[in-house]
């Protein structure tokens, strides 16, 4: 019985060091005060891109332009973008040392007409009024050094997507500053920034070779005098991340999560290790032969299920079943994370969208 309260005393606070609350954009009406461009780097995104472009076209607040930077797509990405009213920029050959996304984003920024730039991943989309809310949120700051980044709400359809729960929680905690002590960084899926703040910090050229460029760029922006504001995307910006299946999901999470863990900071890393260890230990207590282990473990297990549900429901439409049986998605997280670490140790790269990263 002694182990159960110890795990609870250690693990639950560690969890709240990762996420305490996830603030969101306030309700807002349309705004015409900002001259902004939307830039979407896209590689083989013919399935996802139409939803995003249509959501922008249906918004009351309108950008001066939507730029889709076609990063060497082999599908109909460019044609679909033109059909839906975007200006398509064909990416120049990628220079040595650049990732595809950073190179595409930087080219888009160089050609953007707006004095404010909104970078978006192609698999995101705005819910009704969402574009109004994010632009109004930036305007309300009355400070052009403010950089706004939203973690898109994970809208899942297929059962396998529910396995992403711990990746989403740890990604949110590492980048969002949603915990009790962690500072905000940035999310890779969205970035709203004044043009002068972007280029003063060096833009994506400053993080040209980094797969998870958002975490590293956050520190560079802060050093250049920017103030970072990270928010949850629920009710504003959503995403369907893995419509192509389990393999796509696993490759996506594996491609750079080791780097993300390292860049998240010492406090987040230590709290994550303590929390995950407590989750596993608690689950193991349920199969202990002693009745005392079942009783104490069951109480702590229930508390962890409630905590996981509290975190997860702010980040995506996770069902309660996945929270109650959390050892299954936790095993998926540890297996995928371990596989990524093993491949990294061997110097192997992950294939993503037909390109090694």
Q: What is the pLDDT along the chain (357 residues), one digit of tens a residue?
A: 456 567 677 899 999 999 988 999 988 777 766 799 999 999 999 999 999 999 999 999 999 999 999 999 999 999 999 999 999 999 999 999 999 999 999 999 999 999 999 999 999 999 999 999 999 999 999 999 999 999 999 999 999 999 999 999 998 998 888 987 778 889 999 999 999 999 999 999 999 998 889 989 999 999 999 999 999 999 999 998 888 889 888 888 877 665 666 566 678 888 999 999 999 988 887 776 665 556 677 888 999 999 999 999 999 999 999 999 999 999 999 998 888 777 666 665 555 555 555
State the Cα–Cα distance between residues 50 and 124, nearest whole angstrom: 10
122 and 48 Cβ atoms separated by less than 8 Å: yes
β strands within the chain, DSSP E? 36-42, 65-70, 87-90, 116-120, 124-126, 146-151, 153-154, 190-194, 227-232, 237-239, 351-352, 355-356
Nearest Cα neighbor of 222 from 248, 254, 251, 183 is 183
Residues pairing with 37 in the sheet: 65, 117
* pLDDT value of residue 263: 63
DSSP state of 49: H
Nearest Cα neighbor of 64 from 104, 109, 117, 107 is 117
Nearest Cα neighbor of 212 from 168, 247, 165, 262 is 262
Distances in Å between the alpha carbon of 292 and those of 7, 24, 297, 327?
Answer: 15, 42, 8, 21
Q: Is the pTM of this model over 0.95?
A: no
Within 8 A by CB and 6+ apart from 9, the residues are none
* pLDDT value of residue 292: 52
Distances in Å between the alpha carbon of 173 and those of 14, 82, 166, 183, 211?
Answer: 11, 37, 10, 10, 18
* pLDDT value of residue 84: 96
* pLDDT value of residue 224: 95
Q: What is the DSSP string of 252-318?
A: HHHTTHHHHHHHT-HHHHHHHHHHHHHHHHHHHHTT-SSHHHHHHHHHHHHHHHHHHHHHHHHHB--
State the Cα–Cα distance between residues 12 and 19, nearest whole angstrom: 11
* pLDDT value of residue 1: 47
State the Cα–Cα distance between residues 45 and 82, nearest whole angstrom: 13
State the Cα–Cα distance between residues 255 and 305, nearest whole angstrom: 28
Does domain 36-259 match CATH 3.90.550.10? yes
Can you give the residue ranges of every domain in the chain? Answer: 3-19+261-341, 36-259
240 and 131 Cβ atoms separated by less than 8 Å: no
Distances in Å between the alpha carbon of 221 and those of 58, 132, 260, 328?
Answer: 32, 25, 18, 38
Which residue shows structure tokens 């504003």? 236
């Amino acid at each position: 019985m002694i182990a159960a309260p110890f795990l609870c005393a250690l693990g639950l606070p560690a969890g709240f060091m990762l996420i305490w609350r996830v603030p969101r954009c306030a309700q807002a009406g349309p705004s015409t005060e900002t001259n902004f461009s939307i830039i979407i780097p896209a590689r083989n995104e013919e399935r996802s891109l139409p939803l995003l472009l249509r959501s922008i076209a249906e918004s009351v607040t309108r950008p001066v332009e939507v730029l889709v930077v076609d990063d060497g797509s082999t599908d109909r990405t460019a044609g679909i973008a033109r059909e839906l009213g975007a200006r398509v920029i064909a990416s120049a050959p990628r220079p040595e040392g650049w990732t595809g996304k950073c190179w595409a984003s930087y080219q888009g920024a160089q050609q953007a007409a707006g004095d404010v730039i909104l970078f978006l991943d192609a698999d995101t989309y705005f819910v009704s009024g969402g574009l109004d809310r994010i632009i109004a949120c930036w305007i309300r700051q009355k400070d052009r050094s403010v950089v706004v980044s939203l973690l898109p709400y994970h809208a899942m359809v297929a059962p396998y997507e529910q396995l992403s729960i711990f990746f989403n929680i740890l990604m949110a905690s590492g980048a969002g500053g949603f915990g009790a002590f962690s500072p905000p960084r940035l999310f890779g899926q969205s970035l709203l920034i004044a043009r002068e703040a972007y280029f003063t910090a060096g833009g994506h050229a400053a993080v040209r070779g980094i797969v998870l460029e958002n975490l590293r760029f956050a520190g560079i922006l802060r050093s250049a005098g920017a103030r970072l504001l990270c928010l949850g995307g629920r009710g504003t910006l959503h995403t369907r991340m893995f419509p192509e299946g389990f393999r796509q999901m696993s490759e996506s999470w594996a491609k750079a999560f080791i780097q993300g863990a390292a860049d998240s900071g010492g406090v987040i890393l230590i709290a994550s290790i303590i929390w995950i260890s407590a989750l596993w230990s608690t689950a193991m207590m349920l199969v202990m032969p002693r009745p005392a282990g079942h009783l104490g473990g069951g109480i702590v297990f229930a508390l962890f299920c409630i905590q996981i549900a509290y975190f997860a429901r702010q980040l995506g439409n996770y069902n309660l079943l996945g929270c109650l049986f959390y050892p299954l998605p936790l095993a998926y997280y540890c297996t995928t994370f371990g596989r990524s670490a093993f491949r990294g140790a061997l110097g192997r790269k992950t294939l993503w969208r037909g390109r090694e990263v």
